[in-house]
Each structure stands twice: as structure tokens, then as C-alpha cells.
Amino acid sequence: MEILSHLAMGFSVALSFENLLYCVFGVIVGTAIGVLPGLGPLATIAMLLPLTYTLEPTSALIMLSGIYYGAQYGGSTTAILVNLPGESASVVTCLDGHKMAQKGRAGAALAIAALGSFFAGTVGTALIAGFAPVLATFAFNFGPAEYFALMVLGLVAAVTLAHGSLLKALAMVVFGLVLGCIGIDVNSGVARLDFGFLELAEGIEFVAIAMGVFAFTDIIVNWRKKQTEPVLAAKVTSLMPTKQEFKESWPAAIRGTALGCVLGLLPGGGATLSSFASYTIEKRIARNPEKFGHGAPAGVAGPESANNAGSQSSFIPMLTLGIPSNGVMALMIGAMMIHDIVPGPQIMTENAPMFWGLVVSMWLGNLMLLVLNLPMVGLWVKLLRVKYDVLAPLILIFCLIGLYSIHNQSFEIYLAAIFAVVGYLFKRMHCEPAPLLLGFILGPMMEENLRRALLLSRGDALTFLERPISAGLLVVAAAILAVVLLPALRRKREEVFAEEEA
């Protein structure tokens, strides 16, 4: 069995002292920022990215991934005990998890969330190990037309899955694509839209946009609010779920895992979306839906499994196709590029130890998280005492030092200040920033593939429809867009999102 030898290689890489250490560090930091509301994995990874310059690429990726999936575990703790989403993927866990805690079942809710996440993490990791090499073989046949079509599909999917107005989400994607055009055009050497700044020759630094729009905008919005002490629901007593709770949970965990695995593959998907979708489904198919919102264990098990499965499977398109499905994955690509590793189908052969080491470390990390989160939950809850007055300056300074150290210059800092204002405007105008980031990341890749595809076909745009794979992908994209724009379904979609927000 080839896969066994691959996994053996993975274990030997992941179990080296150094990599194990970075894995532990990653999941601890991940849990901590997951517990803390107002600090998400994207901002944290962006902050820590400059620190990985000096690390081995494998260690760096192991640590950064640990932060991402670790945050999914930590987020549920805050949601259940304090009724605050520690992380955006845990918003729906508040609904039933906190109700369970109020009924004195806090321990059971935490255990269900952690066990569900661990199950989902294991399945998600297995999916990467089994599916990624297959997809990579398949992807070797992809030409520029296929890549372009795939990215169009991804952006369309991201738009339809975004909250709020469809038109605005589309506009945000296109705005991101325009921002991606800034810098020197690789084919002609013309500096485009750079307003005369030499620093913009290589384009806008992604980290500057991410930190401005997420971290700095958050500080502007949140710091002025009067702070209230978080109120803990109840003491955590027994961690054991009852037989009935267990019976209600496990099918939900399996469904959530399956859903998360699929949605994580989609660009724009990942942890947050998976948890929302899972909650909606669990509520629909439940025999007694009136229990939801009043402490239904399935309402904890489903979304918590889904968000972890989604966060794992979103690694697949990044590793095999080089296409990031969300902002965190884009930062991962950035981390690889620093070390001259180009993500794509060739990664399985050229960087095999890194790939398999990462896969195995993810499973080990999930195991560590189970241990970290269940018996030590009391320790994490203490973190919630940290006031935003302390957190805000910490985030600010860490981001600023990170921005400075990208190129040892202040230019990125000023860019981030501009994007802080832009991000604040978007927040006021009810525009979701996530599609913008995705557009920005995919923009240059889309332009390059469009250019190559049209060059090969001598300018015939029909090439996208003549090649079966690309035609199929574009048809699916068109179908999604058409379906969402139909008035009846549009109302339904708004209904679903309204429900989630309630």
C-alpha cells in the first residue's frame, strides 16, 4: 500500500521534536485566540506570518494550520459558557450550547463539541490524505482554461454563500479583483494603477489588506464600546454526556462532518459557512425542531463537527490546485511562497515529506486539542477575564510590527491604515469583506490564466466552452448564479440567512 508508506513518512516528519513543538504551540495559540472573542485566526496568522520567515517551511505550515483548526475548538468553549462566539464559526453553537449550559449541562455540551470536532478532524484529515493525491493527478490535466473556469466557479460560489445582498457581494469580489491588478503587469512590464509608488510594483501586500480590513477595523468599531464583564453560565461539573444526549448527537456529528468536508472544498467555504449550513439542516430534519434553541445536543454536535471538517478540507484545493478557498488559506500560500514552494499538483511529488508531515500533524494536533480542551477547560475560561483594553493594544502593536517586518519598511503600515478606513466604510455600508479578499487573491491568477487560455486559442473565447471540463465548471457557475437570482429562491435564501442571524 502506497498510502501506508506515505503516512509512515508523514509520522516520521510530524513526530520530530521540533515539528511536534510547533504543532503544540500552534494548537495552544489557536485555542487561545478561539476562546477570545474579537481575535480570529486570520488576523493571528497574518500577525505571526513574518515570524515564520526563519522557520523550516514544514514547521511553519504545521504551526499556522494548528492555529486555524485549533481556533475551531476554542471558539466553542466561549460560545457554550458565555454565549459569545469566540470565533465566527461558533456563532450558531451559542444558540443551543449556551442553553445546555444554563440547564447545568455545560460539561456535556463541551464534551459533545470537542468529541464531534475530533471526529470531524480525523475524517477531514483522512480525506486530505486520500483525496488530495487523486485530485492532484487529475489536476495535471488542467490547462489555463480549466483553471480560469474553476476560479470563476469559486468566486460565484463565494458570492452566493456570502451573507446579505448578492449584488454587493459581487461588487466586493470585483473590487478585490481590481485591487489585484495593481502592480507591474508581468507580461508587458507596465506598472499599473500604482499612483507612482514604487513600493506597489509587486502589488498590494495581502497582509496589509487583511490586517486593515479585519484587525484594525475591529479595533475602531469595538474599542469605543463600554465593556462589560462576561458572565459565565454555570460551573462545569461532569463532562460525561447522558445516553440520550449521546444518541441525539452522533448522527448530527456524522452529517455535520460530511457537510463540512464538502463545503470546505468550495472557495469561499470553510469553517463558518459549514457550521451555519449544518445548523439549518439539523433543525430541518429534526423530529422535534422546537427543541432547537432550547439546548438540543444535535445543535451543538452538528455545527461543531461541520466547522472543524470544513477547516480541514479547505486545505485540499489550496494544496492540490494552489487555489486558496479563504483568507487563511491565502496566507498559507503566502507562507509557502516565502520558502519558494509553489502550491499545486506538483507538491505531492516535489515536497512529499512536507505534505505528508502536514497531514499527519493535523491529526496529531486534533488529538492534542481534545486533551487540551476537555480537562483543561477551566484554564481557558480564565482567558476571558482579559479585557479588550489590554487586547486591543496587543493586537495593534503585533500587527504593526508584523507589517513593518514584511519588507523592513513602513509602507505596508500606511497601506493598512488606508484599508482600516476602507474596512470601516464597508462595515457601515453592510458589505462583507471576505469576498473582497478572495477576489484580490484570485485576481492575478485569473488574469494570467485568461491571458494564456486566449493566447492558446488565438483569441477565441469559445475555447472555454469547447473544453469539456472548463465548460462543465462554467455551466455549474452559471446555474448557481441563475438559481440564486430567481425571485422565489432568492426569498428563500434571505429567509435562511435571516434565520441564522436571529
In the complex, which residues of this chain contact other proteins (CB under 8 A)?
50-51, 54, 165, 167-168, 170-171, 174-175, 177-178, 181, 185, 187-188, 190, 192-193, 216, 219-221, 223-227, 389-390, 392-394, 396-398, 400-401, 404-405, 408, 410, 413-414, 416-417, 420-421, 424-426, 428-431, 447, 450-451, 454-455, 457-461
Measured CA to CA, the distance from residue 106 to residue 156 in angstroms comes to 40
Whether the CB-CB separation of 9 and 353 falls below 8 Å is answered with: yes
Whether the CB-CB separation of 312 and 69 falls below 8 Å is answered with: yes
Reported as type and span, the H/E element at residue 458 is none
Tell me whether residue 100 or residue 169 sits nearer to other proteins (CB atom): 169
Supply the minimum distance, in Å, between the C-beta of residue 53 and other proteins: 9
Whether the CB-CB separation of 400 and 412 falls below 8 Å is answered with: no
Q: Label residue 428 exposed, middle or buried (CB < 10 Å: 0-12, 13-18, 19+).
A: exposed
Question: Which backbone phi and psi does 184 adopt, to 5 degrees?
Answer: -75, 130
403: Cβ–Cβ under 8 A, 6 or more apart, which residues?
Answer: 205, 207, 208, 211, 412, 413, 416
Select from 154, 104, 132, 50 the least CA-distant residue to 480.
Answer: 154
Measured CA to CA, the distance from residue 27 to residue 71 in angstroms comes to 8
Residue type, 208: A
Helices (H), 162-240: 166-181, 206-210, 217-222
Residue 64 corresponds to which cell in the numbers above?
499556522
Supply the minimum distance, in Å, between the C-beta of residue 187 and other proteins: 7
Supply the minimum distance, in Å, between the C-beta of residue 285 and other proteins: 33
Q: Label residue 202 exposed, middle or buried (CB < 10 Å: 0-12, 13-18, 19+).
A: exposed
Supply the minimum distance, in Å, between the C-beta of residue 409 and other proteins: 8
Supply the minimum distance, in Å, between the C-beta of residue 396 and other proteins: 6
Whether the CB-CB separation of 230 and 388 falls below 8 Å is answered with: no
CA distances, 427 to each of 95, 343, 419 (Å): 24, 33, 12
Supply the minimum distance, in Å, between the C-beta of residue 457 and other proteins: 8
Question: Which backbone phi and psi does 192 adopt, to 5 degrees?
Answer: -105, 140
Supply the minimum distance, in Å, between the C-beta of residue 281 and other proteins: 29
Tell me whether residue 21 or residue 397 sits nearer to other proteins (CB atom): 397
Tell me whether residue 418 or residue 479 sits nearer to other proteins (CB atom): 418
Tell me whether residue 113 or residue 395 sits nearer to other proteins (CB atom): 395
Tell me whether residue 291 or residue 500 sits nearer to other proteins (CB atom): 500
Burial 25-64 (b: 16+ CB within 10 A, else e): bbbbbbbbbbbbbbbbbbbbbbbbbbebeebebbbbbbbb
- Residue 52, strand partner residues: none
CA torsion sign for 380, 46, 9, 348 is: positive
Supply the minimum distance, in Å, between the C-beta of residue 464 and other proteins: 12
Supply the minimum distance, in Å, between the C-beta of residue 359 and other proteins: 28
Select from 364, 437, 344, 333 the least CA-distant residue to 69.
Answer: 364
Measured CA to CA, the distance from residue 224 to residue 214 in angstroms comes to 16
Supply the minimum distance, in Å, between the C-beta of residue 299 and other proteins: 29
Supply the minimum distance, in Å, between the C-beta of residue 185 and other proteins: 4
Supply the minimum distance, in Å, between the C-beta of residue 465 and other proteins: 15
- Residue 191, strand partner residues: 184
Residue 441 corresponds to which cell in the numbers above?
487573491
Supply the minimum distance, in Å, between the C-beta of residue 460 and other proteins: 8
Half-sphere exposure of 499 (CA within 13 A, CB side): 16
